[in-house]
Amino acid sequence: MSEAKNVLFLASWYPNPNNPTLGNFIQKHAEAAAMVHDVVTLSVHGREGGEFVVEKSIRGKLTELRVFYPKATGLFKRIIQFTRFRKAVALGVSTYRKLVGEPDVLHLNVVFPLGLWVKRHFPNTPLVITEHASGLHEGPNAYPKWLLNRMIPVYQRATYILPVSANLGERIKTLAGTSYHVLPNVVNEELFALPKELSSKKLLVHISTLYEAAKNVHGMLRAVQRLSEKTQDF
C-alpha cells in the first residue's frame, strides 16, 4: 500500500452544535479516508455572539477542526458577515498549518462557499472535489448564475471531481466541461447489509431533511402512486 498522505478535508457543510446533521455524509467520507490516510477536516460555522475560536476534536482516526465566528447583525450585516467569514477561514487554515504543515492533497467537499477561497490559501496544492449540492441543478433550489460563474473555475482546477451521483456529475460536466467519477455516499455495513434471503415485497426507504425545493418529496410520492397503479410488489 502507498504511503499515507496528509489530506485536508475542507468541508463547506459539516456537523456542528447548531446543526448536528449538516453534512454528516461528508463526515462519513472523512472517517473512511482516515482509515488509510492522515485526515483532518476543517469547517467554518457562524453562531450567535462569542469570539473567533477553533475547536479541535478527535473522532477515531479522524481529527476535526471547527472554526466558529460571531454572526453579524445591523445595517451592514452582509459586509461584516463576509469579513468575519474570511477571517474565520484564514484562522482555520493557519491552525491546520501549525498542526500539520502543508497538506499533500486538498479534498474540497461542496464547492460553495469554501471552494471560493481555495486559490487564495492553497494555490499549488493538488485538489480533489466531492460535490453534493443540489443547487447546481436547475429549479427552485438553483444557485444564481453569478455564483455558478465563480464556482466553475474551481471545478476546472481540480485533478479529480467526485460527485455522489452520475446525475450531478453530468451537470458539473455541462457547466465546467470536466470529467468525473461517481463516489457514492458511505454506508455503514454493520447497520445496513443485504439480507441473505430476499423478500417478495420490495421496501422503499427515503431518508432526508424533506426539504421540498431540494428533495422533491411530492414528486417522489407522485411517482410511487403511479407505480402502485402498475404493481403492488412493494
Model pLDDT for residues 52-95, shown as the tens digit of each residue: 999 999 999 999 999 999 999 888 999 999 999 999 999 999 99
Q: What is the pLDDT of residue 216?
A: 84
Q: Is the peptide bond before 113 cis (omega within 30 degrees of 0)?
A: yes
Q: Residues 6 or more apart from 209 whose CB is under 8 A from it?
A: 21, 215
Q: Which three cell numbers stand for residue 115?
A: 471552494
The whole-angstrom separation of Cα 168 and Cα 66 is: 28
The CATH homologous superfamily for domain 6-176 is Glycogen Phosphorylase B; (3.40.50.2000)
What letters, b where the CB count within 10 A reaches 16 and e where it falls short, cover 177-199?
Answer: ebebeebeebeeeeeeeeeeeee
Residue 209 cell numbers, joined: 431533511
Model pTM?
0.90
E strands in 94-140: 105-109, 127-131
Which residues of the chain does CATH 3.40.50.2000 include? 6-176
Spatial distance between the Cα atoms of 226 and 141, rounded to a whole number of angstroms: 25
39 has a pLDDT exceeding 90: yes
What number of CA atoms fall less than 13 Å from residue 135's CA on the CB side?
A: 13
User: Which residues are paired to 16 by β-bridges?
Assistant: 19
Helices (H), the chain: 24-33, 77-99, 118-121, 145-157, 166-176, 212-215, 217-228
For residue 116, the SS3 value is helix
> What is the per-residue pLDDT across 164-202, written as a single tens digit (0 to 9) for each?
999 999 999 999 999 999 999 888 878 877 778 877 788
Give tens-digit pLDDT for 104-145: 999 999 999 999 999 999 999 999 999 999 999 998 889 999
Q: How far apart are CA 112 and CA 94, in angstroms?
A: 20
Q: Where do we find the cell 485538489?
A: 127
CA angle 74, 75, 78 (to 5 degrees): 85
User: pLDDT band for position 1 (50/70/90)?
Assistant: low
Over residues 98-103, mean pLDDT: 98
Residue with C-alpha cell 479529480? 160
